[in-house]
Amino acid sequence: MTPLPVVLAASASNGKALWYLTRASGVVALVLLTATVVVGVVASVGWTTERWPRFLSQHLHRNLSLLCLGFVATHVLSTIADGYVPIGIVDAFVPFHSPYRPLWVGLGAVTLDLLLAVLVTSALRHRIGYRSWRFVHWMAYLCWPIAVLHGLGSGSDTRLGPVLVIDGACTLAVLAVVTWRLVTGRSFGATRRLVAAAVAVVVTVAIGVFAVLGPLRPGWSHRAGTSSTLLARIAATNAGLSVPTTVASATTAPTVAVSSGGATDPAPAAPFTSPVSGTQTTAPEAGGNVRVTLALRLEDAASTPLEIELDGTAIAGGGVSLSSGSASLGGYPGAVTSLDGDVISIALHDPDPVDLTVTLGVEQNGRLSGTVSGVAR
């Protein structure tokens, strides 16, 4: 068996880099937002020591807020630039406008709007008055639970161990400082403290129950508002295909029909590893580009189809320098994130986020064979 004649081009990593940047900046933004809340409570309580004067808490709180807003901006811009799902600049500011997971992406827009409101009112504090500024500033503390729900509902890394640890640590930190604020806050009466404590407990429990029953369970991608038809159209557009809008009944596992003749068999549940075999065709395109189509089938009970489209520049030896790629497994669409020799990496977004690794070689008869592994993100 000889290696599959394809090579990795620098441009192939652009989409993957944006995808990683979006995920990483979102996590960092949540950590910074948590730190902003913690330091803000420390400043409001008036805690000081000889080595930690009060003005230090205030300056640190302001600088953390600005840094958090910077990472939120990076998160938004990289999401828009990535372009895999149709999230535009309007969706970043107008809540619940996005066609992709409108509720959960909309919560991210609410968070951004609140942070911007704090930034603007802080700059105009001396003109709008202390009361108005303080009202907006306290409303901004709603950013934290809203941002957590946004990350849980729209993030592709929710079920990863490190992300769960970060989410848990941020939650414990906020609960600790809120408890401290309620115990030491002299401006609060007993009734207001009890109400605030009850609200904090209810919000925390609600977020935990939502995480367990929602994003941490299989099938969340579809239940979150991810349109199988929408993602299929995106993948087809990237590959130059035409995809009909037919989808299965909601009472069964959602599948998408692809125009290339692929079946709509259910994709195997991750994690899995299966032998795979099939054929390869190469079609020339304008400007010296080529499209390599890999029509494969898994050797599982359902003989699940796996189709991969690789677009790029033709190179000597019959390979392709990858510029973009799309894929579908059992009718579920995905995107090629990297191509390294005979190893192809694919990110599936529906019905659940799954990373595929396809290793292929060419047999003497010209057919392709190898393995495909799937790991849930």
Asked whether the beta carbons of 40 and 62 are under 8 A apart, the reply is: no
Q: Which region holds residue 5: left if phi is over 0, alpha if psi is between -120 and 50, else beta?
A: beta
- Looking at the structure, do residues 294 and 184 belong to the same domain, yes or no? no
Asked whether the beta carbons of 4 and 360 are under 8 A apart, the reply is: yes
Indicate whether 63 pLDDT > 80: yes
Is 117 contained in some domain? yes
The per-residue pLDDT for 13 is: 45
Between 57 and 78, the higher pLDDT residue: 78
Is 7 contained in some domain? no
- Looking at the structure, do residues 287 and 241 belong to the same domain, yes or no? yes
Domain that residue 333 falls in:
230-376
Between 26 and 134, the higher pLDDT residue: 26
The per-residue pLDDT for 187 is: 63
H/E element, 259: none
Chain centroid, CA 72 distance in Å: 13
Where residue 255 falls among pLDDT bands split at 50, 70, 90? very low
> CA-based Rg of the chain, rounded to a whole angstrom?
25
User: For residue 225, what are its two tokens?
Assistant: 């508002």
Indicate whether 259 pLDDT > 70: no
Q: Which of 165-174, 324-333, 341-350 has the highest mean pLDDT?
A: 165-174
User: For residue 52, what are its two tokens?
Assistant: 């930690």
Domain count, the chain: 2
Where residue 6 falls among pLDDT bands split at 50, 70, 90? very low
Where residue 254 falls among pLDDT bands split at 50, 70, 90? very low
The per-residue pLDDT for 19 is: 78
Asked whether the beta carbons of 294 and 360 are under 8 A apart, the reply is: yes
Is 115 contained in some domain? yes
Residue where a domain stops, chosen among 214, 243, 260: 214
The per-residue pLDDT for 23 is: 87
| Averaged pLDDT of the chain | 78
pLDDT, tens digit, 9 for 90 and up, residues 65-103 = 899 999 999 999 998 887 767 788 999 999 998 888 889
User: For residue 239, what are its two tokens?
Assistant: 């590959």
pLDDT, tens digit, 9 for 90 and up, residues 29-43 = 999 999 999 988 888
- Looking at the structure, do residues 63 and 153 belong to the same domain, yes or no? yes
- Looking at the structure, do residues 190 and 111 belong to the same domain, yes or no? yes
- Looking at the structure, do residues 203 and 247 belong to the same domain, yes or no? no
Rounded CA gap, 337 and 332, in Å? 16
- Looking at the structure, do residues 69 and 171 belong to the same domain, yes or no? yes
Is 1 contained in some domain? no
- Looking at the structure, do residues 196 and 282 belong to the same domain, yes or no? no
Rounded CA gap, 240 and 289, in Å? 13
Is 100 contained in some domain? yes
- Looking at the structure, do residues 186 and 109 belong to the same domain, yes or no? yes
Rounded CA gap, 332 and 267, in Å? 7
Indicate whether 171 pLDDT > 50: yes
- Looking at the structure, do residues 234 and 282 belong to the same domain, yes or no? yes
- Looking at the structure, do residues 276 and 318 belong to the same domain, yes or no? yes
The per-residue pLDDT for 226 is: 61
Residue where a domain stops, chosen among 149, 179, 214: 214
Residue where a domain stops, chosen among 148, 183, 214: 214
Is 175 contained in some domain? yes
Is 250 contained in some domain? yes
The per-residue pLDDT for 90 is: 92
Q: CA angle at residue 161 from 204 to 329, to 5 degrees?
A: 110
Rounded CA gap, 336 and 344, in Å? 7
Report the 10 Å Cβ neighbour count for 271: 11
Q: How large a percentage of the chain has pLDDT more than 70?
A: 78
The pair phi, psi for residue 31, each rounded to 5°, is -65, -45
Indicate whether 184 pLDDT > 70: yes
User: For residue 78, what are its two tokens?
Assistant: 């990289």
Rounded CA gap, 1 and 364, in Å? 7
Query: Once rounded to an integer, what is the mean pLDDT over residues 6-20?
Result: 54
The per-residue pLDDT for 263 is: 38
- Looking at the structure, do residues 85 and 146 belong to the same domain, yes or no? yes
The per-residue pLDDT for 243 is: 36
- Looking at the structure, do residues 187 and 105 belong to the same domain, yes or no? yes
Predicted TM-score (pTM) of this structure: 0.62
Between 269 and 78, the higher pLDDT residue: 78
Is 306 contained in some domain? yes
pLDDT, tens digit, 9 for 90 and up, residues 100-142 = 888 999 999 999 999 899 889 888 888 888 888 888 887 777 8
